[in-house]
Structure 1
Amino acid sequence: MPDAPVILADEPGSFAHGVLAARHPALIRAVRDAFPYDPGQRRALDALLTSATEGVIEPLGTDADEHWAAWGARRYLGRSWFEVPFLWSESYFYRHLLQAVGYFGPGPWQGIDPFRPFKLAELDAPETDEELAALDRLTGQSEQEQARALLHGSLWGNRADLGFRLSVPGATTAVSQLVADDSEALWTLLPVDTVCLVADNAGRELIPDLLFLDHLLCHGRARRALLQVKPYPYYISDATTADVVDAVRRLTAAKGAAADAGERLWAALADGRIDVRAHPFSCAPLPYADMPEDLRAQFAAADLTVFKGDLNYRRLVGDRLYPPTTSFAETTAYFPGPVAALRTLKSDVIVGLDAATEAALVAAEGQRWRTNGTHALVQVRP
């Protein structure tokens, strides 16, 4: 929708401004303290902190991959981080952070995920034990009841987002509400031969995503699954292949129904019924409407694609200030096949609401409902 303005971060007090001005500095400090980085890495992190808050967008170093030139890096060099599209500046910040810690090498820190301590802490949290124990209570319920419970587990698991909690502490305990619910339409699209899940966060969110896929495979709602993850660490808690392995191991080390699911998932990964993929465009600062043809072909080959989480939603519909009543079907019309979004709201972009729902939310909360993580949606375009 070309008339909807692209979201920027140049307005003090806005959600986007807060991410760049507060969340990113907090993340740099947390990463700096999480590893015994050498003096050069620490200087690079300090320089990024200054650049991201007071300076301008600078080029990546010699380890920069070729994609960023195509993704608009030259267009924005020398400009304030706050004055370029919010989605772009966020993504470029994370690419700079990985460069600062030597992730892309060469050197001894090559491939070391700077967010790994936070992800592992999520997996080891008491809340994870409680959530896994709850699976035992599902075993006596009908398949339909199990399916609905696991769908909602996947939906609300996004509230465990580490980056979100850096800037909205305590939000995961607030009252929750579905602002749009096309879940019945989702069930009518199943069973399928191939379902694709575009994953969002690792840890406590990825586990319910995997459990949802396990249920679809076990009960004949899908024959196989494609699991799209990030090719490298991104947005602090976004899932990579290593995070998938960690999550499945966490399940297999549990007891009862969780362990059984972990064994099934391990087997499904090993025999190809779950196919993990990591396309470079998964870390692009662009909407999926701009996806390359090879990725479009992958999505077109699936019978249903499910986008998880807030960032993927922003990229699916476009990171713009749409009127909330804008049609979800129209904003996703470019996508090559049936598509669903499972999202906890943690940023300004939103489409697909009816007018009465929007009015009630604004009357009750102003605009806070868009970003405080206490509302969610299930949206489907067949």
Structure 2
Amino acid sequence: MPDLPPPIGIDRPGSFSRSVFHERHPVLIANLVGDFPYPPRIAEALEALLAESLAGTVPPRTPGGPEIHTWHLEVAARAGLPWDSLPFLWAESYFYRRLLRAVEYHHYDSPWCGVDPFAPQKHAQLDGPELRADLDAYAALKGADAADRRRALLLASLWGNQADLGFRTNNPGADTGVGELLADDADALWALAEAPGEAPVIVVADNAGREITADLALVDHLLETATGPVELHLKPHPYFVSDATGLDVSDTLRALDRDPHEEVRDLARRLRDAIRVGWLRLRTHGAYVHPTEYRTAPADLAEEFASAKLVILKGDLNYRRLVGDREWDPATPFAEAAGYFPGPVAALRTAKSDLAVGVDPARLAALDAEAPDWRLTGTRAFIQVRP
């Protein structure tokens, strides 16, 4: 196997990855303190975490909570290192793990145990006008041509990734209009998802709110057309700002139950029925909150991926885990960067970080000239498949 490119870091002034720590995280911490009446000890712990992440070093103490053995090994390997020397993916994951510790999410003797620090932001999106427009569009698909409906559901799931609340933390006015598809392997995706056989299709979710709502509509279509079950993989606990958990799916279904459109209420009913009979399986795994790439996924999760008819990975974080959050040449073929994956895989991702692979060289040159920040705005997207 050829040598992998170096990881993207957070040390380069002016880089997107550095701005996440120096521009996004301060706003994030201020939002949390504003959303909850945290006592002084929690507010002080959040401010101390922010200060440490901007100018400190990694302490030797392992952050509490589940998957403690993995985190012990990861922290032991980096204890004493300056934060700005860390790989971006590792540092960002570690920041959110430490954030959960600061808000006492895993402290069983704390009244803040199990309180999702991002719940107010998630719930606001479920009640917002953008989701209202999404559901109106979904209801309008009734009676549409089958091919047009299938295409609309796939694109809604893809562009739903623009609603990432982490992305919007310091970009509240970000353009969320549909943009340009830089790769479109949709035909290959459908050929794999609807192929004969009883193996499951796995959809690895990214964000709650508008995105998981669109994902559930896509899952409903897969349940109708696939020949085996569908698995929806979720985070085991809150992670990045809007990452979807089982509770978020439950909250979303309740929101759909209240919708004025009969088509939307029927969607929620079908999904519940599918869960009850085991045709739709909600799953999770500790690896989804590890600070690592899928290249080093635990054996049991790798076996699940290998036995699936297709694994559909949603969003930017899953993309970074898949190809590696590394300094790839954007013209590198997707099949090369994801070639290690143990089974057929599809990525649905809007570009919101420096990482890119599988971009046509001619289009790449034009993009770099026309819009140098094209990787960061969420207005370019990819449907990429490695069969």
Partner of residue 228, structure 2: 223
Alignment partners' CA distance in 2, 1:163 and 1:211? 23
Contact 1:61 1:99 in 2 (8 A): no
4+ aligned runs moved over 3 Å, structure 1:
59-62
SS of 1:66 mapped into structure 2: helix
Alignment partners' CA distance in 2, 1:54 and 1:337? 41
Alignment partners' CA distance in 1, 2:192 and 2:120? 38
Partner of residue 11, structure 2: 10
Partner of residue 194, structure 2: 191
Tell me whether 1:80 sits opposite 2:85 in the alignment.
no
Q: Taking every aligned residue pair, what percent have the same amino acid on both sides?
A: 48
Tell me whether 1:321 sits opposite 2:327 in the alignment.
yes
Shift of 1:270: 1.7
Shift of 1:258: 0.9
Correspondence 1:38-77 to 2 at 5 A: 38-60=39-61, 63-64=64-65, 65-70=68-73, 72-77=74-79
Shift of 1:225: 0.7
Tell me whether 1:176 sits opposite 2:214 in the alignment.
no
Contact 2:312 2:347 in 1 (8 A): yes
Contact 1:168 1:372 in 2 (8 A): no
The alignment covers a number of residue pairs equal to 379
Tell me whether 1:362 sits opposite 2:387 in the alignment.
no
Correspondence 1:258-273 to 2 at 5 A: 258-273=264-279
Shift of 1:3: 4.5
Partner of residue 25, structure 2: 24
Shift of 1:234: 0.7
Higher mean alpha-carbon deviation, 91-100 vs 164-173, is at 164-173
Partner of residue 208, structure 2: 202
Shift of 1:196: 0.2
Correspondence 1:243-322 to 2 at 5 A: 243-254=248-259, 255-322=261-328
Alignment partners' CA distance in 2, 1:112 and 1:175? 34
Alignment partners' CA distance in 2, 1:40 and 1:373? 36
Partner of residue 147, structure 1: 150
Q: Deviations over 1:295-319 (max 9, x none)?
A: 0111122100000000000000000
Shift of 1:169: 3.4
SS of 1:122 mapped into structure 2: helix
Partner of residue 96, structure 1: 98
**CA 1:335–1:228 in 2, change beyond 3 Å: closer, same or farther?**
same
Q: Deviations over 1:169-228 (max 9, x none)?
A: 32234561111111121122231431000100001100000000001112x224311111
Contact 1:161 1:205 in 2 (8 A): yes
SS of 1:379 mapped into structure 2: strand
What letter is aligned with 2:142?
T
Alignment partners' CA distance in 2, 1:119 and 1:182? 31
Mark the runs of 5 or more structure 2 residues left unpaired by the alignment: none
After TM superposition, the score normalised by the length of structure 1 is: 0.96
Tell me whether 1:378 sits opposite 2:383 in the alignment.
yes
Q: Deviations over 1:80-125 (max 9, x none)?
A: 2221100000000000000001000122211111001100001010
**CA 1:270–1:349 in 2, change beyond 3 Å: closer, same or farther?**
same
Alignment partners' CA distance in 2, 1:62 and 1:372? 32
Contact 1:19 1:167 in 2 (8 A): no
Mark the runs of 5 or more structure 1 residues left unpaired by the alignment: none
**CA 1:61–1:329 in 2, change beyond 3 Å: closer, same or farther?**
closer
Alignment partners' CA distance in 2, 1:191 and 1:34? 44
